[in-house]
Structure 1
Protein backbone atom coordinates (compact mmCIF):
# COMPACT_ATOMS: atom_id res chain seq x y z
CA UNK A 1 0.00 0.00 0.00
CA UNK A 2 1.15 3.59 -0.58
CA UNK A 3 1.86 5.85 2.39
CA UNK A 4 -1.35 7.10 4.06
CA UNK A 5 -3.15 10.00 2.39
CA UNK A 6 -1.93 13.03 4.40
CA UNK A 7 -5.07 15.16 4.08
CA UNK A 8 -7.27 17.22 1.81
CA UNK A 9 -5.83 18.96 -1.23
CA UNK A 10 -8.69 21.13 -2.52
CA UNK A 11 -12.44 21.30 -2.97
CA UNK A 12 -14.07 22.48 -6.20
CA UNK A 13 -17.56 23.97 -6.33
CA UNK A 14 -19.87 25.73 -8.76
CA UNK A 15 -20.81 29.37 -8.30
CA UNK A 16 -22.55 32.24 -10.06
CA UNK A 17 -20.79 35.18 -11.72
CA UNK A 18 -17.00 35.21 -11.39
CA UNK A 19 -16.96 38.77 -9.98
CA UNK A 20 -19.56 37.88 -7.35
CA UNK A 21 -17.48 34.85 -6.39
CA UNK A 22 -14.37 36.99 -6.04
CA UNK A 23 -16.19 39.66 -4.04
CA UNK A 24 -17.43 37.11 -1.52
CA UNK A 25 -14.49 34.75 -1.10
CA UNK A 26 -11.77 37.40 -1.19
CA UNK A 27 -13.76 40.47 -0.15
CA UNK A 28 -15.76 38.90 2.69
CA UNK A 29 -14.10 35.65 3.73
CA UNK A 30 -10.61 37.00 3.23
CA UNK A 31 -9.14 34.18 1.18
CA UNK A 32 -6.44 35.04 -1.31
CA UNK A 33 -7.10 34.56 -5.01
CA UNK A 34 -4.02 32.48 -5.73
CA UNK A 35 -4.72 31.63 -9.35
CA UNK A 36 -6.91 32.96 -12.14
CA UNK A 37 -7.09 30.45 -14.93
CA UNK A 38 -9.66 28.59 -17.03
CA UNK A 39 -11.49 25.32 -16.89
CA UNK A 40 -9.17 23.20 -19.02
CA UNK A 41 -12.16 21.19 -20.26
CA UNK A 42 -14.18 24.36 -21.00
CA UNK A 43 -11.60 27.13 -21.51
CA UNK A 44 -14.12 29.90 -22.03
CA UNK A 45 -15.06 29.54 -18.36
CA UNK A 46 -12.93 30.79 -15.46
CA UNK A 47 -11.42 28.47 -12.89
CA UNK A 48 -10.68 30.54 -9.78
CA UNK A 49 -8.54 29.31 -6.89
CA UNK A 50 -8.69 30.74 -3.36
CA UNK A 51 -6.47 29.79 -0.43
CA UNK A 52 -3.81 30.93 2.00
CA UNK A 53 -0.79 33.06 1.10
CA UNK A 54 0.58 30.61 -1.48
CA UNK A 55 -2.34 28.22 -1.96
CA UNK A 56 -0.96 25.49 0.24
CA UNK A 57 -2.69 22.11 -0.24
CA UNK A 58 -5.47 21.84 2.32
CA UNK A 59 -6.46 25.52 2.06
CA UNK A 60 -7.64 25.80 -1.55
CA UNK A 61 -11.30 26.21 -2.51
CA UNK A 62 -11.78 26.49 -6.27
CA UNK A 63 -14.75 27.55 -8.38
CA UNK A 64 -16.17 27.11 -11.82
CA UNK A 65 -18.34 30.25 -12.18
CA UNK A 66 -21.48 29.34 -14.12
CA UNK A 67 -23.63 32.51 -14.08
CA UNK A 68 -26.23 30.97 -16.41
CA UNK A 69 -26.53 27.70 -14.52
CA UNK A 70 -29.61 26.94 -12.47
CA UNK A 71 -29.51 26.58 -8.71
CA UNK A 72 -28.12 23.23 -7.65
CA UNK A 73 -29.57 20.87 -5.09
CA UNK A 74 -27.44 19.00 -2.57
CA UNK A 75 -28.19 15.31 -2.34
CA UNK A 76 -26.72 11.85 -2.59
CA UNK A 77 -23.33 11.76 -4.28
CA UNK A 78 -22.41 15.34 -3.31
CA UNK A 79 -20.37 16.89 -0.51
CA UNK A 80 -22.91 18.60 1.76
CA UNK A 81 -20.86 21.43 3.29
CA UNK A 82 -17.39 22.96 3.29
CA UNK A 83 -15.79 23.76 6.64
CA UNK A 84 -12.82 25.96 7.53
CA UNK A 85 -10.90 26.12 10.79
CA UNK A 86 -10.59 29.47 12.57
CA UNK A 87 -8.76 30.20 15.84
CA UNK A 88 -10.74 29.41 18.97
CA UNK A 89 -10.94 33.08 19.97
CA UNK A 90 -12.13 34.22 16.51
CA UNK A 91 -15.74 33.08 16.69
CA UNK A 92 -17.24 36.34 17.96
CA UNK A 93 -15.19 38.57 15.61
CA UNK A 94 -16.25 36.41 12.67
CA UNK A 95 -19.88 36.46 13.77
CA UNK A 96 -19.81 40.27 13.91
CA UNK A 97 -17.99 40.51 10.56
CA UNK A 98 -20.49 38.27 8.78
CA UNK A 99 -23.43 40.12 10.32
CA UNK A 100 -21.99 43.41 9.08
CA UNK A 101 -21.78 41.86 5.61
CA UNK A 102 -25.49 41.04 5.79
CA UNK A 103 -24.98 37.29 6.08
CA UNK A 104 -27.39 35.24 8.18
CA UNK A 105 -25.35 33.11 10.58
CA UNK A 106 -26.43 30.09 12.62
CA UNK A 107 -24.47 29.06 15.71
CA UNK A 108 -24.12 25.38 16.49
CA UNK A 109 -21.60 22.91 17.89
CA UNK A 110 -19.85 19.84 16.48
CA UNK A 111 -17.80 17.44 18.58
CA UNK A 112 -17.41 20.10 21.25
CA UNK A 113 -16.25 22.87 18.91
CA UNK A 114 -18.43 25.97 18.36
CA UNK A 115 -19.40 26.50 14.73
CA UNK A 116 -20.78 29.31 12.60
CA UNK A 117 -22.89 27.98 9.73
CA UNK A 118 -24.09 30.08 6.79
CA UNK A 119 -24.59 29.96 3.04
CA UNK A 120 -22.56 31.72 0.39
CA UNK A 121 -24.42 33.91 -2.17
CA UNK A 122 -24.94 30.86 -4.40
CA UNK A 123 -26.34 28.49 -1.78
CA UNK A 124 -23.21 26.56 -0.79
CA UNK A 125 -23.26 25.74 2.94
CA UNK A 126 -20.11 26.87 4.77
CA UNK A 127 -18.96 26.28 8.34
CA UNK A 128 -16.33 28.08 10.41
CA UNK A 129 -15.11 25.82 13.21
CA UNK A 130 -13.44 27.53 16.18
CA UNK A 131 -10.51 25.34 17.22
CA UNK A 132 -6.87 25.55 18.18
CA UNK A 133 -6.08 22.10 16.80
CA UNK A 134 -5.11 23.54 13.40
CA UNK A 135 -2.50 26.21 12.82
CA UNK A 136 -1.24 27.78 9.63
CA UNK A 137 1.39 30.50 9.75
CA UNK A 138 0.69 31.19 6.08
CA UNK A 139 -2.93 32.29 6.60
CA UNK A 140 -3.71 35.26 4.34
CA UNK A 141 -4.21 38.50 6.27
CA UNK A 142 -4.01 41.16 3.55
CA UNK A 143 -7.78 41.50 3.21
CA UNK A 144 -10.86 42.17 5.33
CA UNK A 145 -9.71 39.69 8.02
CA UNK A 146 -6.45 40.02 9.95
CA UNK A 147 -4.03 37.09 9.82
CA UNK A 148 -4.76 36.64 13.55
CA UNK A 149 -8.35 35.57 12.78
CA UNK A 150 -8.03 34.41 9.16
CA UNK A 151 -9.21 31.05 7.84
CA UNK A 152 -6.55 28.40 8.57
CA UNK A 153 -7.56 25.72 6.09
CA UNK A 154 -10.22 23.08 5.65
CA UNK A 155 -11.64 21.52 8.78
CA UNK A 156 -14.15 18.69 8.25
CA UNK A 157 -16.21 18.75 5.06
CA UNK A 158 -19.38 16.68 5.39
CA UNK A 159 -19.70 13.73 3.03
CA UNK A 160 -23.08 11.94 3.02
CA UNK A 161 -22.81 8.15 2.92
CA UNK A 162 -25.19 5.23 3.12
CA UNK A 163 -25.16 2.72 5.95
CA UNK A 164 -24.41 -0.18 3.62
CA UNK A 165 -21.60 1.23 1.49
CA UNK A 166 -17.82 1.04 1.93
CA UNK A 167 -16.80 4.68 2.18
CA UNK A 168 -15.58 4.24 5.80
CA UNK A 169 -13.44 1.32 4.61
CA UNK A 170 -11.93 3.55 1.92
CA UNK A 171 -10.67 5.92 4.60
CA UNK A 172 -9.51 3.32 7.13
CA UNK A 173 -8.34 0.37 5.03
CA UNK A 174 -6.96 2.24 2.03
CA UNK A 175 -6.27 5.87 2.97
CA UNK A 176 -4.86 4.88 6.36
CA UNK A 177 -7.09 7.23 8.37
CA UNK A 178 -8.64 6.50 11.77
CA UNK A 179 -12.15 7.06 13.08
CA UNK A 180 -11.62 9.40 16.02
CA UNK A 181 -15.14 10.53 16.99
CA UNK A 182 -18.77 9.55 16.51
CA UNK A 183 -21.99 11.36 17.38
CA UNK A 184 -25.44 10.18 16.31
CA UNK A 185 -25.14 9.69 12.54
CA UNK A 186 -21.82 11.52 12.07
CA UNK A 187 -18.44 9.78 12.09
CA UNK A 188 -15.15 11.75 12.03
CA UNK A 189 -12.03 10.35 10.38
CA UNK A 190 -8.52 11.78 10.72
CA UNK A 191 -5.32 11.38 8.77
CA UNK A 192 -2.12 10.42 10.61
CA UNK A 193 0.87 12.73 10.95
CA UNK A 194 -0.68 15.88 9.47
CA UNK A 195 -1.68 19.14 11.14
CA UNK A 196 -3.60 20.75 8.26
CA UNK A 197 -6.87 19.75 6.61
CA UNK A 198 -6.67 16.26 8.07
CA UNK A 199 -10.29 15.43 9.00
CA UNK A 200 -13.54 14.60 7.22
CA UNK A 201 -17.00 13.87 8.59
CA UNK A 202 -19.04 11.05 7.10
CA UNK A 203 -22.75 11.53 7.73
CA UNK A 204 -24.60 8.23 7.61
CA UNK A 205 -28.12 8.48 6.24
CA UNK A 206 -30.72 6.36 4.55
CA UNK A 207 -31.07 6.29 0.81
CA UNK A 208 -32.13 9.69 -0.49
CA UNK A 209 -32.46 11.40 -3.87
CA UNK A 210 -29.38 12.32 -5.87
CA UNK A 211 -28.35 15.94 -5.95
CA UNK A 212 -28.58 18.24 -8.94
CA UNK A 213 -25.38 19.89 -10.12
CA UNK A 214 -25.62 23.67 -10.33
CA UNK A 215 -24.74 26.86 -8.49
CA UNK A 216 -24.03 26.31 -4.81
CA UNK A 217 -22.96 22.66 -5.08
CA UNK A 218 -19.62 20.88 -4.74
CA UNK A 219 -18.28 19.34 -7.93
CA UNK A 220 -15.56 17.18 -6.34
CA UNK A 221 -13.27 16.79 -3.35
CA UNK A 222 -9.52 16.21 -3.73
CA UNK A 223 -7.05 14.47 -1.43
CA UNK A 224 -3.28 14.77 -1.41
CA UNK A 225 -0.52 12.70 -2.94
CA UNK A 226 2.93 14.00 -2.07
CA UNK A 227 4.29 13.44 -5.59
CA UNK A 228 3.61 11.75 -8.91
CA UNK A 229 5.14 8.43 -7.83
CA UNK A 230 2.84 8.23 -4.81
CA UNK A 231 -0.12 9.18 -6.97
CA UNK A 232 0.71 6.35 -9.38
CA UNK A 233 0.78 3.94 -6.44
CA UNK A 234 -2.69 5.11 -5.45
CA UNK A 235 -3.96 4.68 -8.98
CA UNK A 236 -2.76 1.08 -8.95
CA UNK A 237 -4.04 0.34 -5.44
CA UNK A 238 -7.52 1.65 -6.26
CA UNK A 239 -7.70 -0.22 -9.54
CA UNK A 240 -6.64 -3.41 -7.78
CA UNK A 241 -9.80 -3.08 -5.68
CA UNK A 242 -12.02 -2.76 -8.71
CA UNK A 243 -12.43 1.03 -8.80
CA UNK A 244 -12.54 2.79 -12.16
CA UNK A 245 -9.74 5.39 -11.95
CA UNK A 246 -8.91 7.87 -14.69
CA UNK A 247 -5.56 8.29 -16.32
CA UNK A 248 -3.39 11.10 -14.93
CA UNK A 249 -4.64 14.57 -15.91
CA UNK A 250 -2.25 17.53 -16.16
CA UNK A 251 -3.83 20.40 -14.22
CA UNK A 252 -0.75 22.66 -14.60
CA UNK A 253 -0.31 23.23 -10.85
CA UNK A 254 -0.79 19.60 -9.87
CA UNK A 255 -1.55 16.25 -11.48
CA UNK A 256 -4.89 14.57 -10.89
CA UNK A 257 -6.62 11.22 -10.98
CA UNK A 258 -10.36 10.84 -10.39
CA UNK A 259 -12.68 8.07 -9.27
CA UNK A 260 -16.33 7.73 -8.37
CA UNK A 261 -18.04 4.58 -7.13
CA UNK A 262 -21.51 3.96 -5.65
CA UNK A 263 -20.04 1.84 -2.84
CA UNK A 264 -16.54 3.15 -2.17
CA UNK A 265 -17.31 6.90 -2.45
CA UNK A 266 -21.12 6.92 -2.06
CA UNK A 267 -21.16 8.32 -5.59
CA UNK A 268 -19.10 11.41 -4.69
CA UNK A 269 -16.40 12.34 -7.20
CA UNK A 270 -13.00 11.90 -5.51
CA UNK A 271 -9.69 13.22 -6.80
CA UNK A 272 -6.14 12.52 -5.70
CA UNK A 273 -3.90 15.48 -6.59
CA UNK A 274 -0.17 15.93 -6.24
CA UNK A 275 1.23 18.61 -3.93
CA UNK A 276 3.34 20.12 -6.70
CA UNK A 277 4.39 21.92 -8.73
CA UNK A 278 2.11 24.44 -6.97
CA UNK A 279 0.85 27.93 -7.76
CA UNK A 280 4.28 29.58 -7.69
CA UNK A 281 5.20 27.62 -10.79
CA UNK A 282 4.32 30.49 -13.16
CA UNK A 283 3.87 33.55 -10.91
CA UNK A 284 5.82 35.28 -8.17
CA UNK A 285 4.25 35.14 -4.72
CA UNK A 286 3.46 38.87 -4.70
CA UNK A 287 1.58 38.56 -8.01
CA UNK A 288 -0.43 35.39 -7.43
CA UNK A 289 -3.89 35.40 -8.96
CA UNK A 290 -3.74 38.86 -10.54
CA UNK A 291 -3.42 37.88 -14.20
CA UNK A 292 -5.02 35.22 -16.37
CA UNK A 293 -2.82 32.16 -16.65
CA UNK A 294 -3.58 29.50 -19.24
CA UNK A 295 -1.69 26.31 -20.07
CA UNK A 296 0.73 26.21 -22.95
CA UNK A 297 -1.56 24.06 -25.10
CA UNK A 298 -4.20 26.82 -25.03
CA UNK A 299 -1.89 29.81 -25.61
CA UNK A 300 -2.68 29.88 -29.33
CA UNK A 301 -6.30 30.62 -28.40
CA UNK A 302 -5.54 33.24 -25.72
CA UNK A 303 -7.18 36.19 -27.52
CA UNK A 304 -10.38 34.27 -28.12
CA UNK A 305 -10.41 33.00 -24.52
CA UNK A 306 -9.80 36.47 -23.04
CA UNK A 307 -12.61 37.93 -25.13
CA UNK A 308 -15.02 35.31 -23.79
CA UNK A 309 -14.17 35.82 -20.11
CA UNK A 310 -15.51 38.65 -17.92
CA UNK A 311 -13.05 41.18 -16.52
CA UNK A 312 -12.35 40.83 -12.79
CA UNK A 313 -11.61 43.54 -10.24
CA UNK A 314 -10.03 42.61 -6.93
CA UNK A 315 -12.10 43.82 -3.95
CA UNK A 316 -10.55 46.50 -1.75
CA UNK A 317 -9.71 45.42 1.79
Structure 2
Protein backbone atom coordinates (compact mmCIF):
# COMPACT_ATOMS: atom_id res chain seq x y z
CA UNK A 1 0.00 0.00 0.00
CA UNK A 2 1.28 3.45 -0.88
CA UNK A 3 1.74 5.73 2.11
CA UNK A 4 2.74 9.35 2.03
CA UNK A 5 4.22 11.06 5.06
CA UNK A 6 7.64 11.83 6.47
CA UNK A 7 10.46 9.51 5.39
CA UNK A 8 13.12 10.89 7.73
CA UNK A 9 14.38 14.03 9.43
CA UNK A 10 18.08 14.97 9.26
CA UNK A 11 19.71 17.19 11.87
CA UNK A 12 23.14 18.49 12.88
CA UNK A 13 24.87 17.44 16.09
CA UNK A 14 28.09 18.02 17.98
CA UNK A 15 30.54 15.20 18.88
CA UNK A 16 29.55 11.84 17.42
CA UNK A 17 30.08 9.75 20.54
CA UNK A 18 27.64 11.79 22.62
CA UNK A 19 25.08 11.84 19.81
CA UNK A 20 25.26 8.06 19.46
CA UNK A 21 25.01 7.50 23.22
CA UNK A 22 21.98 9.75 23.65
CA UNK A 23 19.84 8.27 20.89
CA UNK A 24 20.70 4.60 21.44
CA UNK A 25 21.03 4.49 25.23
CA UNK A 26 18.94 7.37 26.63
CA UNK A 27 16.12 7.29 24.05
CA UNK A 28 16.57 3.64 23.15
CA UNK A 29 16.39 3.95 19.36
CA UNK A 30 18.04 1.44 17.07
CA UNK A 31 21.18 2.49 15.20
CA UNK A 32 19.85 1.48 11.80
CA UNK A 33 22.82 2.64 9.73
CA UNK A 34 26.34 3.87 10.41
CA UNK A 35 27.77 5.52 7.33
CA UNK A 36 29.31 8.88 6.36
CA UNK A 37 28.06 12.09 4.85
CA UNK A 38 28.39 11.23 1.15
CA UNK A 39 29.21 14.87 0.35
CA UNK A 40 31.62 15.28 3.29
CA UNK A 41 32.99 11.82 4.22
CA UNK A 42 35.04 13.27 7.08
CA UNK A 43 31.93 13.06 9.27
CA UNK A 44 29.62 10.23 10.19
CA UNK A 45 26.00 9.98 9.13
CA UNK A 46 23.98 8.11 11.77
CA UNK A 47 20.46 6.83 11.11
CA UNK A 48 18.35 6.08 14.20
CA UNK A 49 14.97 4.39 13.94
CA UNK A 50 12.70 1.51 14.86
CA UNK A 51 13.45 -2.22 14.84
CA UNK A 52 13.01 -2.49 11.05
CA UNK A 53 14.35 0.90 10.01
CA UNK A 54 11.00 1.76 8.45
CA UNK A 55 10.35 5.05 6.63
CA UNK A 56 8.71 7.39 9.10
CA UNK A 57 10.77 6.16 12.03
CA UNK A 58 14.12 7.63 11.04
CA UNK A 59 15.99 10.57 12.59
CA UNK A 60 19.46 11.04 11.12
CA UNK A 61 22.43 13.16 12.16
CA UNK A 62 25.56 14.69 10.74
CA UNK A 63 27.74 14.96 13.88
CA UNK A 64 30.54 17.50 13.53
CA UNK A 65 33.01 17.69 16.40
CA UNK A 66 33.41 21.48 16.49
CA UNK A 67 30.18 22.81 14.97
CA UNK A 68 28.83 26.12 16.30
CA UNK A 69 25.34 26.17 17.85
CA UNK A 70 22.40 26.73 15.53
CA UNK A 71 19.36 28.92 16.16
CA UNK A 72 15.69 28.16 15.66
CA UNK A 73 13.91 30.82 13.65
CA UNK A 74 11.95 31.53 10.52
CA UNK A 75 12.57 28.95 7.81
CA UNK A 76 13.47 26.10 10.17
CA UNK A 77 12.04 22.94 11.64
CA UNK A 78 11.25 24.12 15.15
CA UNK A 79 10.62 20.71 16.73
CA UNK A 80 10.72 17.01 15.88
CA UNK A 81 8.33 14.67 17.71
CA UNK A 82 8.38 10.94 18.49
CA UNK A 83 5.38 8.73 19.25
CA UNK A 84 5.28 6.73 22.50
CA UNK A 85 2.49 4.87 24.35
CA UNK A 86 0.40 7.43 26.21
CA UNK A 87 0.87 5.69 29.56
CA UNK A 88 4.67 5.90 29.22
CA UNK A 89 5.00 9.69 29.62
CA UNK A 90 5.46 9.34 33.38
CA UNK A 91 8.27 6.84 32.78
CA UNK A 92 9.95 9.23 30.35
CA UNK A 93 9.67 12.19 32.72
CA UNK A 94 11.47 10.19 35.41
CA UNK A 95 14.05 8.90 32.94
CA UNK A 96 14.85 12.41 31.75
CA UNK A 97 15.36 13.52 35.36
CA UNK A 98 17.63 10.53 36.06
CA UNK A 99 19.64 11.05 32.87
CA UNK A 100 19.94 14.84 33.22
CA UNK A 101 17.97 15.54 30.05
CA UNK A 102 16.66 19.09 29.65
CA UNK A 103 12.87 18.81 29.48
CA UNK A 104 9.61 20.62 30.14
CA UNK A 105 6.35 19.46 31.67
CA UNK A 106 3.68 17.41 29.93
CA UNK A 107 1.34 19.75 28.04
CA UNK A 108 -1.68 19.43 25.79
CA UNK A 109 -1.52 20.17 22.06
CA UNK A 110 -4.46 19.42 19.79
CA UNK A 111 -5.79 17.18 22.55
CA UNK A 112 -2.59 15.12 22.76
CA UNK A 113 -0.24 14.82 25.76
CA UNK A 114 3.23 16.07 24.79
CA UNK A 115 6.54 16.03 26.71
CA UNK A 116 9.07 18.49 25.21
CA UNK A 117 12.81 17.96 25.68
CA UNK A 118 16.20 18.66 24.11
CA UNK A 119 19.11 16.44 23.21
CA UNK A 120 22.66 17.27 24.41
CA UNK A 121 23.34 19.42 21.34
CA UNK A 122 20.20 21.53 21.52
CA UNK A 123 17.85 19.75 19.13
CA UNK A 124 14.24 20.55 20.07
CA UNK A 125 12.26 17.33 20.46
CA UNK A 126 9.07 16.03 22.07
CA UNK A 127 7.38 12.76 22.93
CA UNK A 128 3.72 12.50 21.95
CA UNK A 129 1.57 10.08 23.96
CA UNK A 130 -0.40 7.95 21.49
CA UNK A 131 -3.25 5.72 22.75
CA UNK A 132 -2.74 2.16 21.53
CA UNK A 133 0.91 2.62 20.52
CA UNK A 134 1.88 -0.07 23.02
CA UNK A 135 0.47 -2.68 20.62
CA UNK A 136 2.95 -1.68 17.88
CA UNK A 137 6.29 -3.47 17.45
CA UNK A 138 9.06 -2.01 19.59
CA UNK A 139 12.85 -1.88 19.69
CA UNK A 140 13.90 -2.21 23.31
CA UNK A 141 17.07 -1.06 25.07
CA UNK A 142 18.55 -1.53 28.52
CA UNK A 143 16.21 0.11 31.04
CA UNK A 144 13.47 0.76 28.47
CA UNK A 145 10.80 -1.93 28.35
CA UNK A 146 8.61 -2.51 25.31
CA UNK A 147 5.61 -0.79 26.90
CA UNK A 148 7.60 2.46 27.10
CA UNK A 149 9.69 2.35 23.92
CA UNK A 150 9.62 4.97 21.16
CA UNK A 151 7.55 3.85 18.16
CA UNK A 152 9.01 6.11 15.46
CA UNK A 153 8.46 9.70 14.44
CA UNK A 154 5.16 11.47 14.99
CA UNK A 155 6.08 14.55 12.99
CA UNK A 156 7.60 18.02 12.84
CA UNK A 157 6.71 21.64 13.50
CA UNK A 158 7.82 24.10 10.84
CA UNK A 159 8.30 27.78 11.70
CA UNK A 160 7.68 30.04 8.70
CA UNK A 161 6.65 33.63 8.00
CA UNK A 162 3.41 32.66 6.25
CA UNK A 163 2.32 29.04 6.03
CA UNK A 164 -0.26 29.01 3.25
CA UNK A 165 2.05 28.07 0.37
CA UNK A 166 3.85 25.49 2.48
CA UNK A 167 0.51 23.96 3.40
CA UNK A 168 -0.51 23.87 -0.26
CA UNK A 169 2.55 21.75 -1.06
CA UNK A 170 1.78 19.36 1.80
CA UNK A 171 -1.75 18.79 0.53
CA UNK A 172 -1.28 18.93 -3.25
CA UNK A 173 2.11 17.23 -3.60
CA UNK A 174 2.59 15.07 -0.48
CA UNK A 175 -0.95 13.88 0.16
CA UNK A 176 -1.52 15.46 3.57
CA UNK A 177 -4.84 16.93 4.72
CA UNK A 178 -5.46 19.88 7.01
CA UNK A 179 -7.07 18.51 10.19
CA UNK A 180 -7.01 21.26 12.83
CA UNK A 181 -6.05 24.82 13.71
CA UNK A 182 -4.93 26.32 17.01
CA UNK A 183 -4.07 30.00 16.82
CA UNK A 184 -1.14 30.43 14.43
CA UNK A 185 -0.56 26.66 14.12
CA UNK A 186 -2.18 24.57 11.38
CA UNK A 187 -2.00 20.78 11.63
CA UNK A 188 -1.68 18.50 8.60
CA UNK A 189 -1.92 14.70 8.67
CA UNK A 190 -1.19 11.94 6.18
CA UNK A 191 -2.34 8.31 6.01
CA UNK A 192 1.05 6.91 7.08
CA UNK A 193 1.16 4.87 10.30
CA UNK A 194 4.16 6.86 11.58
CA UNK A 195 5.70 10.19 10.60
CA UNK A 196 2.29 11.48 9.64
CA UNK A 197 1.98 14.93 11.25
CA UNK A 198 3.26 18.32 10.13
CA UNK A 199 2.37 21.42 12.13
CA UNK A 200 2.98 24.76 10.43
CA UNK A 201 3.46 27.70 12.76
CA UNK A 202 3.20 31.07 11.01
CA UNK A 203 5.08 33.75 12.92
CA UNK A 204 5.92 36.99 11.17
CA UNK A 205 8.71 39.18 12.50
CA UNK A 206 10.94 36.45 13.96
CA UNK A 207 14.65 36.27 13.16
CA UNK A 208 15.62 33.76 10.48
CA UNK A 209 17.07 30.49 11.70
CA UNK A 210 20.77 29.68 11.56
CA UNK A 211 22.12 26.21 10.80
CA UNK A 212 24.39 24.63 13.40
CA UNK A 213 24.39 22.15 16.24
CA UNK A 214 20.79 21.38 17.22
CA UNK A 215 19.36 22.46 13.85
CA UNK A 216 17.30 20.30 11.54
CA UNK A 217 19.00 20.33 8.15
CA UNK A 218 16.05 19.00 6.14
CA UNK A 219 12.79 17.07 6.28
CA UNK A 220 12.35 14.19 3.83
CA UNK A 221 8.93 13.11 2.56
CA UNK A 222 8.07 9.66 1.26
CA UNK A 223 7.72 8.56 -2.34
CA UNK A 224 7.01 4.86 -2.86
CA UNK A 225 9.25 4.63 -5.94
CA UNK A 226 10.84 6.65 -8.75
CA UNK A 227 7.54 7.10 -10.60
CA UNK A 228 5.82 8.43 -7.49
CA UNK A 229 8.73 10.80 -6.92
CA UNK A 230 8.64 11.99 -10.55
CA UNK A 231 4.93 12.77 -10.21
CA UNK A 232 5.65 14.90 -7.13
CA UNK A 233 8.41 16.73 -9.01
CA UNK A 234 5.96 17.41 -11.85
CA UNK A 235 3.35 18.82 -9.47
CA UNK A 236 5.93 21.03 -7.78
CA UNK A 237 6.93 22.54 -11.12
CA UNK A 238 3.51 22.83 -12.74
CA UNK A 239 1.39 23.80 -9.72
CA UNK A 240 3.88 25.65 -7.50
CA UNK A 241 6.65 26.91 -9.78
CA UNK A 242 9.34 25.05 -7.84
CA UNK A 243 12.26 23.09 -9.29
CA UNK A 244 14.08 20.25 -7.55
CA UNK A 245 17.67 19.08 -7.80
CA UNK A 246 18.54 16.13 -9.98
CA UNK A 247 17.99 12.75 -8.34
CA UNK A 248 20.77 11.65 -5.98
CA UNK A 249 21.41 8.03 -5.04
CA UNK A 250 21.73 7.75 -1.25
CA UNK A 251 22.12 3.93 -1.32
CA UNK A 252 19.04 3.35 0.89
CA UNK A 253 16.75 5.71 -1.02
CA UNK A 254 16.89 8.03 -4.02
CA UNK A 255 16.37 11.71 -3.37
CA UNK A 256 15.57 15.09 -4.84
CA UNK A 257 15.70 18.33 -2.86
CA UNK A 258 14.05 21.75 -2.99
CA UNK A 259 13.55 24.79 -0.79
CA UNK A 260 9.86 25.20 0.04
CA UNK A 261 8.34 28.72 0.04
CA UNK A 262 8.84 29.20 3.79
CA UNK A 263 12.57 28.51 3.51
CA UNK A 264 12.75 24.94 4.89
CA UNK A 265 14.80 22.45 2.88
CA UNK A 266 12.59 19.55 1.78
CA UNK A 267 13.65 16.21 0.32
CA UNK A 268 11.57 13.62 -1.50
CA UNK A 269 13.01 10.17 -0.74
CA UNK A 270 11.92 6.83 -2.18
CA UNK A 271 10.93 4.03 0.20
CA UNK A 272 13.05 1.63 -1.85
CA UNK A 273 15.52 -0.03 -1.62
CA UNK A 274 15.60 0.41 2.19
CA UNK A 275 18.23 -0.02 4.87
CA UNK A 276 18.75 -3.75 4.35
CA UNK A 277 20.26 -3.00 0.92
CA UNK A 278 23.83 -3.56 2.14
CA UNK A 279 23.52 -5.52 5.42
CA UNK A 280 20.98 -8.02 6.78
CA UNK A 281 18.06 -6.84 8.90
CA UNK A 282 19.43 -8.42 12.07
CA UNK A 283 22.80 -6.66 11.59
CA UNK A 284 21.62 -3.15 10.74
CA UNK A 285 24.05 -0.53 12.04
CA UNK A 286 26.68 -3.09 13.03
CA UNK A 287 29.48 -1.89 10.77
CA UNK A 288 30.55 1.21 8.86
CA UNK A 289 28.93 1.13 5.44
CA UNK A 290 30.28 3.20 2.55
CA UNK A 291 28.85 3.83 -0.92
CA UNK A 292 30.73 2.15 -3.76
CA UNK A 293 32.40 5.38 -4.88
CA UNK A 294 33.94 5.87 -1.40
CA UNK A 295 34.93 2.25 -0.75
CA UNK A 296 38.44 2.69 -2.26
CA UNK A 297 39.05 5.38 0.39
CA UNK A 298 37.86 3.26 3.35
CA UNK A 299 41.21 3.17 5.19
CA UNK A 300 41.68 6.92 4.85
CA UNK A 301 38.09 7.66 5.91
CA UNK A 302 38.17 5.33 8.92
CA UNK A 303 41.46 6.86 10.07
CA UNK A 304 39.95 10.35 10.18
CA UNK A 305 36.57 9.56 11.74
CA UNK A 306 36.29 10.19 15.51
CA UNK A 307 36.39 7.27 17.94
CA UNK A 308 32.98 6.04 19.10
CA UNK A 309 34.00 3.70 21.94
Q: Distance in 1 between matches of 2:135 and 2:74?
A: 32
279, 297, 305: which is aligned to 1:283?
Answer: 279
1:186 maps to: 185
* Residue segments in structure 1 that go unaligned for 5+ positions in a row: none
Is the CA contact 1:85–1:128 (under 8 Å) kept in the aligned structure 2? yes
The 1:82–1:249 alpha-carbon spacing in structure 2 relative to 1, beyond 3 Å, is same
Q: 1:125-159 CA distances to partner (integer Å, 9 max, x unpaired)?
A: 11001112657733211343222211111113110
Q: Partner of 1:156: helix, strand, or coil?
A: strand
Within 5 Å, give how 1:51-90 maps onto structure 2: 51-90=49-88
The 1:276–1:84 alpha-carbon spacing in structure 2 relative to 1, beyond 3 Å, is same
Q: Partner of 1:207: helix, strand, or coil?
A: coil
2:31 maps to: 33
The 1:280–1:219 alpha-carbon spacing in structure 2 relative to 1, beyond 3 Å, is same
2:307 maps to: 311
Displacement after TM superposition at 1:175 (Å): 2.4
Q: Partner of 1:91: helix, strand, or coil?
A: helix
Q: Distance in 1 between matches of 2:123 and 2:140?
A: 24
Within 5 Å, give how 1:97-176 maps onto structure 2: 97-107=95-105, 108-132=107-131, 137-163=136-162, 165-176=164-175
Is the CA contact 2:134–2:146 (under 8 Å) kept in the aligned structure 1? no
* Residue segments in structure 2 that go unaligned for 5+ positions in a row: none
Q: Partner of 1:104: helix, strand, or coil?
A: coil
Displacement after TM superposition at 1:284 (Å): 1.5
Deviant stretches of 4+, over 4 Å: 133-136
Aligned length: 307
Q: 1:73-101 CA distances to partner (integer Å, 9 max, x unpaired)?
A: 11111100110011011110111111110
The 1:136–1:21 alpha-carbon spacing in structure 2 relative to 1, beyond 3 Å, is farther
Q: CA RMSD in A?
A: 1.7
Within 5 Å, give how 1:258-273 maps onto structure 2: 258-261=257-260, 263=261, 266-273=262-269
